[in-house]
């Protein structure tokens, strides 16, 4: 039995039903993280409003917005977000080349300058926790201050899961990590940093781990793992590509298994 049952609109009071309707109107339905947050309607309401502002009423073009979301999702290995936004991005005008660069964590050097700039800004936020002066100057010139602020906030939107939400849904939230935990996990270990650390260590194998989410980075109970060999001459990019394939095999199996257990 799930610790927290699914919220039904008819079980909510009038104020909470109004929140449900606003979330549904802005996102098409109440699902995913929004469904979890409906156990605390005021939080769901405010997060949904911010999301609506960023996605539907902001200054970024549709393609720029989707590219920023895809970049942030790839940096934190957010498989759900990637699966949802890859087709949306391509439809909005994100180039196939940019999608493939993100998929394989590759260099932006050969991309169109505008797409490369968005990816570089979002990657800097996640990897360096700051935007270097020269990159900031290029971004400010390209977007202007208000839209650049929007880009930065949008990049950080995926990190809005507070510890109180994790505690409330303990045993119900999972994550996929691009290494064999407990090695190469913890704060700051995401994206290319993980694969670079694996290669620097001399490890002969890496892989994918699906684990429960708790309040500590990458320390939740491990559910399943798939090993991937490290080849001689591997770069972070080539290792990341093979690990990503393992993630795409492993995560659906785990989700289906967990769904059967709680159904």
The pLDDT score that the predictor gives to residue 27 is 73
Running DSSP on this structure, what letter comes out for residue 97? H
When pLDDT is averaged across residues 188-196 and rounded to a whole number, the result is 80
Task: Break the chain into its structural domains and give their ranges.
Answer: 9-48, 62-159, 165-262
> Which pTM was predicted?
0.59
CA dihedral in degrees (214, 242, 77, 32; nearest 10)?
-90
Q: What is the pLDDT of residues 73-95, one digit of tens each?
A: 888 777 767 888 899 999 999 99
Q: Which residue has the tokens 């770069």?
A: 235
The pLDDT score that the predictor gives to residue 166 is 63
To the nearest whole percent, how much of the chain has pLDDT over 70? 91
- Token representation of residue 190: 């995401």
Q: What is the pLDDT of residues 5-26, one digit of tens each?
A: 778 899 899 988 998 998 888 7
Q: Which has the higher per-residue pLDDT, 210 or 216?
A: 210
The pLDDT score that the predictor gives to residue 167 is 65
Running DSSP on this structure, what letter comes out for residue 230? P
Pairwise CA distance, residues 188 & 194, whole Å: 9
Pairwise CA distance, residues 192 & 5, whole Å: 37
Domain 165-262 has CATH 3.40.50.170: yes
81-87 long-range contacts (CB < 8 A, ≥24 apart) are 81/158
CB-based contacts of 178, cutoff 8 Å, min separation 6: 77, 191, 194, 195, 206, 208, 240, 243, 244, 247
């Amino acid at each position: 039995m799930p610790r927290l049952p699914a919220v039904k609109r008819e079980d909510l009071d009038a104020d909470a039903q109004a929140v449900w309707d606003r979330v549904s109107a802005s996102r098409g339905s109440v699902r995913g993280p929004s469904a979890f947050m409906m156990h605390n309607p005021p939080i769901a309401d405010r997060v949904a409003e911010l999301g609506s502002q960023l996605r539907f009423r902001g200054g970024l073009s549709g393609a720029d917005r989707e590219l920023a979301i895809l970049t942030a999702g790839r940096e934190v290995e957010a498989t759900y977000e990637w699966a949802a936004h890859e087709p949306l991005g391509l439809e909005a005008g994100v180039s196939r080349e940019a999608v493939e660069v993100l998929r394989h964590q590759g260099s932006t050097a050969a991309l169109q300058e505008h797409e490369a700039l968005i990816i570089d800004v979002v990657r800097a936020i996640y990897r360096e926790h700051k935007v270097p002066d020269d990159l900031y100057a290029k971004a400010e010139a390209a977007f202007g201050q208000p839209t650049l602020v929007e880009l930065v906030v949008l990049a950080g939107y995926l990190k809005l899961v507070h510890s109180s939400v994790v505690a409330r849904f303990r045993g119900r939230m999972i994550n996929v990590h691009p290494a064999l935990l407990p090695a190469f996990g913890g704060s700051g270990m995401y994206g290319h940093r993980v694969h670079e650390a694996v290669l620097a260590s001399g490890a002969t194998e890496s892989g994918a781990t699906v684990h429960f989410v708790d309040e500590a980075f990458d320390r939740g109970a491990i559910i399943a793992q798939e090993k991937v060999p490290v080849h001689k001459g591997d770069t972070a990019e080539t290792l990341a590509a093979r690990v990503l394939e393992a993630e795409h095999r492993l995560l659906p199996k785990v989700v289906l298994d967990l769904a059967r257990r709680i159904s």
